[in-house]
Amino acid sequence: MSANSAADPAASRPQDARRPVRSFVLRQGRMSPAQQRALDQLLPRYGLPFARTPLDWQHVFGRAAPVVLEIGFGMGETTAEIAAAHPERDFVGIEVHAPGVGSLLREVDGRGLANVRVIRHDAVEVVDAMIPLGSLAGIHVFFPDPWPKKRHHKRRLLRPDFVHALALRLAPGGYLHVATDWSDYAEEMLATLGAERLLVNTVQGFAPRPESRPQTKFERRGKRLGHPVFDLFFTRK
């Protein structure tokens, strides 16, 4: 036994127990001055700090309204557009990358959106610790990292255990809307969601893109190049 392993009890545990497999890698993205200002000045106003305590939505938003969770909102353009179109609903966005968080905060403040809150943390931990069971009207997971290399597939977000955790957070009749432009990931998602006993597919196979999901610039560019986009729309039994 080495000196290091003797001094560190974690060294004798399996690696998976010490270091959970995450669905993201924190990269040093370039922050614009405007994004940094938004992060510094607006996150205290619109952000929810990570805590191992379930949230009270009525306390968070100051009203009783349906709550929709978005996981991995990227630069936040879709989140802001959907929230602006649905002022009767409240939206919680989770994202780990600082430039995207800063970008969404700018949109939220510029549009005067009182129905958006942001959590900058690992979505798996947020769902487990902060999202009450049966409390969500909907969940959006748009274009999660496909981790295309086979050896990285274990990092994909929508694994069976996490899909089950999401299903438990939905109220009966609540929906899970997923979109991807990776065909093999789409097939894997379809199988995983289809195997979840608490969810039911609203169509046979993939769903047409609902008007409620705006197309991003990235998606429009991909479509011009012939890249198909797959939507899945499941509801909670």
pLDDT of residue 233: 97
Task: Determine the Cα–Cα distance for residues 58 and 67; give it in Å rounded to an integer.
Answer: 10
Q: Tokens 């890249």, residue?
A: 227
Specify if 166 maps to a domain: yes
Range of the domain at 177: 48-236
161 in active site: no
pTM of the model: 0.86
Instruction: Look up the CATH number of the domain holding residue 173.
Output: 3.40.50.150
Alpha-carbon distance of 53 to 2, in angstroms, equals 39
Q: How many domains does the chain have?
A: 1
- pLDDT given for residue 2 in this prediction: 39
- pLDDT of 84 reads 98
Catalytic residue among 145, 161, 184, 231: 145
- The answer to whether 71 and 23 are in contact (CB under 8 A) is no
pLDDT mean for each 10 residues of the chain (237 residues): 39 43 58 95 98 98 98 95 98 96 98 98 97 98 85 85 98 97 94 98 95 84 84 97
- Residue 236 has a pLDDT of 98
Residue 67: partners with Cβ closer than 8 Å, 6 or more residues away: 57, 61, 89, 90, 91, 92, 135, 136, 137
Sign of the four-CA dihedral 175, 178, 183, 187: negative
